[in-house]
Amino acid sequence: MSLIVWVLGALALAGPRGKDREEQIARAAADREAALACEADTPEGYQIHTGFATDPDEASALESARLSARRLALESLCAGKSEPRCAVISRHIEGWKLPFYHPYTHRACAHVGVNRRWIDDDSHDQERLTQQLQALARDVVEALGDELLWITPPLWSGSGCHAGEVGTAMIAELRNGLAATGGVRLATERQRAAQLEVNLSLSGDQVVLGAALRRPGDEGLIPLEGFRFPRDLFDVKEGSGDCRFDRELGLIAGLRSGDDGRTVRVIVPGGGSYCEGDRITPTVKVDRPSTVRVFSVGRSGKAYLVWPPPGQDGLVQHTASLGVMDLHPTPNGGDEKLVAVAVAPGGELGPIKDWSAFCAVSAFTAALYPSGAAAGAATFQVQRFDADACLVRDVPGGRAPPIPVVPTCGVR
C-alpha cells in the first residue's frame, strides 16, 4: 500500500509540473510566431504600416489592430494633404500579411500597405492640376483688367447643380492662384463686378473644367482656356451632377431669394466635413430682420426642425447662433443640409408656423416653404468614427449621445 501511495503522490506532483512545461513550450511557440507575424518587413516598392492592440477578445483585438495600422498609414500618407487627396490614396491601402493574435498576452498585430506608385502618381497629378489652375488664374487677371471680380458658385454644366466638393476645391485653389498674381480685388455680392463662371463636366475618367468671364454691362462671355484632370483625384459621387437634393429644396447653389429680395444663409464651421461625435455651432445670417426656421434635412427627405428653441419666435436681426449640435451620421450616409427658411418679421409662415423644435418631418421639400420665402442651405457630411478621415483624427467611437425619441412636427 505504501508503494501505491508513494506512486500516486509522485504522479500528483508531476502532473501540474508537466502541464506547466507544456504551457511554457506552447507560449514560447506563440512568442516565436508573433515575432515573425508582427515583424515590420517592407517589400520593395511598398510602404507598410503595422498596428497593435490588446484585448481579451480575439476578434476585438484583431479589428483594433487593423484600424490602428490603417490610422498609421493615413497619418503618414495624408500628412499635409487635403482630404480629397487623402481619399485618392486611401483607396489603395490594402492588407499585408496575415494578422496575428497572441493567445497568452492577448496582443494582436495587423499590417497594411500601399504600392508607392499610387503615391507617386497622385503627387504628379496634383502638381499638374495646381499648375493648370495657376495658369487659369493668370488668364483671368489678363482678361479682367481693372475690374472687381466676383466668382460665381461652380456648377455642373449638364444639370446646373453646384459642383460640390470638387468644385469647392477648384475655386479655393484658383483663389490661391489669383492671390499669387497680385492686384486682383474680389467683390462682395452687391458690388458691380466682372463675373467668373466655372463649370465642370465629366468625360469618361476625366473631369473637364471650363471657365468664362462676363464684364459688367456686357451680355457676352469671354471664354478662357480650360483643362482636364483625372476624375479619381476627387470622390465624384454625383456622376454628371444630378442635384435632385437641391432641386427638391428649391435651391440653386444652396440659395433661393425671397420675393422681396430677402436672403438667408447658414454657416457651418470647419468646412462641412465632420465625424460622428463632433459638436458644432452653426449660425444663420440674414440681410435684413427676418423670422427664421432651420431644418436639418437628409437625402431621403427626412428632416428635423432644429431651430428656434421652444418659446422663441425665431426673429433674427442679422446673425444668430443655432446653438451647439451633436452630430450623428445619417442611416444611409451621404450629404445633409441645414436649411433656413426666412420671411419678413410677422410674415406668413404657413404650416410650419406653430412647429416647435425639436420635431421630425417625414418628407421635407420646397412645398413646405411659405409663399415668397427666402431659403438658404449649408451642406455637410457626418462620417462614422471609423471612417478614414476620422481615423486620422482618432475620434473615439460612440462619443455622440444617442438620438432621443423625436415627436412628429404638427402632431400634439
Task: Give the domains, in start order, of the chain with CATH numbers.
Answer: 127-233 (3.40.50.10610), 244-393 (2.60.40.1930)
Q: Which of 380, 388, 284, 293 is nearest to 329 (CA)?
A: 380
Other beta carbons within 10 angstroms of residue 53's beta carbon come to: 20
Give yes or no for residue 240 having a pLDDT over 60.
no
Other beta carbons within 10 angstroms of residue 71's beta carbon come to: 20
> How do residues 79-133 score in pLDDT, each as one tens digit?
766 666 677 778 889 898 899 999 999 999 999 999 888 777 767 888 899 999 9
**What pLDDT is attached to residue 192?**
85
pLDDT band at 283 (very low <50, low <70, confident <90, very high): very high
Q: Is 323 exposed, middle or buried (0-12, 13-18, 19+ CB in 10 A)?
A: middle
Q: How far apart are CA 170 and CA 236, in angstroms?
A: 13
Spell out the alpha helix ranges (H) of 185-315: 244-248
Q: How far apart are CA 379 and CA 337, in angstroms?
A: 4
**What pLDDT is attached to residue 333?**
63
Q: How far apart are CA 22 and CA 28, in angstroms?
A: 10
Give yes or no for residue 145 having a pLDDT over 70.
yes
Residue 294 CA: distances (Å) to CA of 262, 265, 374: 16, 10, 12
CB 156 within 8 A of CB 238: yes
